Amino acid sequence: MSISALLLLLLCWILLHSSTHSMSIDLEDLAFDNTMVITHSSPCSTTCGLGIRTQQLCPLETDSKPNSKACHVRQVQCLDNWQCGLRIQTATAGQRLELDCLEEVMDAMGYFAFVVSWRFARGIITTNNRLFSRLDNPGLDRLILDPVKEEDAGTYCCDVLDPSYHRVKRLYNGVKVISSKVLSLDFTKGLSQWEKPEGQLENGTVVTGKLYSSSTVRNMVLISMSTSIAVAVVVFLALYAFTYWKRPKKRVDFNECLENL
């Protein structure tokens, strides 16, 4: 039993020694061949779709430092997630609306480096692919609606494929279109109107006089007083009638009335 254990330990020592020796030889060969290794890598510039990642490469040497002249920096493509989810925006009928699928990073890589296809689900905001139909877009990477109409409301889906026809991006654009004659949802403009000084109009003029004439104010006061008095009288009569009918009535004895006669 002891001999077999000794042989097993000897075999393990031989294997470990040979693997360590071969590893050291391989590292020396790599260093001799000026092999570059990545010493630093930045996060991807985009959370979805193709982006740019910066990498620093240095020679595989024991005395090389990250800031040495032998190191150099390169930019490579990166893809963390091809699904970009749903984006919703509101537009007013008659405006110009532009939907960009490639955006800045992918556009900088080259217009002809990707294949872009568009689909459209009319009238609803959804990500259900069964509700979409193919949409012809001459601009490919950008969809321009000029002017945008109420029937253009819905969800626009764009798919981006690389030259190997691998999907690198999918983006859903939900578009809500409102009529300019119904309602204005320009919150910034409305907020600026509220923050203007009192009496200042939209064109910059200032109103110095009273907002209402004296006769209008007098009529408003008289109407308010008359309404208050009428309400008070009605409430008083209602309380008096309620008290009168709830008062106990005195019973009259008929025999007593005959004796008095």
Kindly report, residue by residue over 119-176, the tens digit of the pLDDT. 999 999 999 999 999 998 877 788 999 899 999 999 999 999 888 888 989 999 999 9
pLDDT at 123: 92
Contacts of 162 (CB under 8 A, 6+ apart): 50, 113, 114, 115, 168
Give the mean pLDDT of 190-206: 57
pLDDT at 177: 93
Q: Which of 38-47, 68-77, 212-221 has the lowest mean pLDDT?
A: 212-221
pLDDT at 26: 52
Residues 164 and 118 in one domain: yes
Residues 42 and 74 in one domain: yes
Residues 52 and 91 in one domain: no
Residues 157 and 169 in one domain: yes
Split into its structural domains, the chain has a count of 2
pLDDT at 17: 60
Percentage of the chain exceeding pLDDT 90: 23
Would you place residue 88 in the very low, low, confident or very high pLDDT band (cuts 50, 70, 90)?
A: very high
237 assigned to some structural domain: no
Structure tokens at 57: 């490469």
**Residue range of the domain that includes 57:** 34-81
152 exposure class (CB count in 10 Å sphere: 0-12, 13-18, 19+): middle
251 assigned to some structural domain: no
CATH number of the domain where residue 157 is located: 2.60.40.10
Q: Which residue has the higher pLDDT, 100 or 247?
A: 100
Residues 90 and 173 in one domain: yes
Q: Quick one: how far is CA 19 from the chain centroid?
A: 54
Residues 155 and 113 in one domain: yes
pLDDT at 23: 46
Give the mean pLDDT of 211-239: 82
Q: State yes or no: pLDDT of 207 exceeds 60.
A: no
* The last residue of a domain, from among 49, 81, 113: 81
CB atoms within 10 A of CB 60: 16
Radius of gyration of the chain (CA): 42
What pTM, to 2 d.p., does this model score? 0.54
pLDDT at 245: 74
pLDDT at 190: 65
pLDDT at 44: 87
Give the mean pLDDT of 2-7: 62
* The last residue of a domain, from among 134, 152, 178: 178
Give the mean pLDDT of 208-212: 54
pLDDT at 11: 64
As a whole number of angstroms, the distance between CA 202 and CA 184 comes to 16
Q: Which of 15-24, 41-50, 53-62, 113-122 has the lowest mean pLDDT?
A: 15-24
Q: Which residue has the higher pLDDT, 154 or 212?
A: 154
Q: Which of 25-34, 95-104, 243-252 has the lowest mean pLDDT?
A: 25-34
129 assigned to some structural domain: yes
Give the mean pLDDT of 65-88: 83
* The last residue of a domain, from among 120, 149, 178: 178
